[in-house]
Amino acid sequence: MRLIALLLILLAAAPALAQPNLAPLAGPSFDDIRRGVEELAVSGDPRAAPVLGALQAGRLLVG
């Protein structure tokens, strides 16, 4: 029974763990934004390309 409960908890937490951290993209310095871009680019998240494209075009709103 405990194993089933643990599996359910892990399954519920999986989407939160898979979310890329977009906060650095709204950072106050170029270095913060650069780090955010690097993290997002290597995340493997399929949503990374549209986010990075919007950032490059000046259409990304984070906040």
63/27 Cα distance (integer angstroms): 10
28: domain range? 21-63
Query: Which residue is associated with the tokens 């937490």?
Result: 13
Question: Per the domain annotation, does 30 fall within a domain?
Answer: yes
Q: In this structure, are residues 34 and 53 in contact, taking their beta carbons and an 8 Å threshold?
A: no
Look over the chain and give the mean of its residue pLDDT values, rounded to a whole number: 79
Q: Could you give the number of structural domains in the chain?
A: 1
Question: Per the domain annotation, does 7 fall within a domain?
Answer: no
Q: What is the pLDDT of residues 2-57, one digit of tens each?
A: 777 766 666 665 554 456 677 888 889 999 989 989 988 888 888 889 988 988 89
Q: Would you state the pLDDT for residue 17?
A: 45
Q: Would you state the pLDDT for residue 10?
A: 62
Q: Is the pTM of this model over 0.85?
A: no
Question: Per the domain annotation, does 15 fall within a domain?
Answer: no
Question: Per the domain annotation, does 63 fall within a domain?
Answer: yes
Question: Per the domain annotation, does 59 fall within a domain?
Answer: yes
Q: Would you state the pLDDT for residue 29?
A: 92
Q: Which amino acid is at 17?
A: L
Question: Per the domain annotation, does 9 fall within a domain?
Answer: no
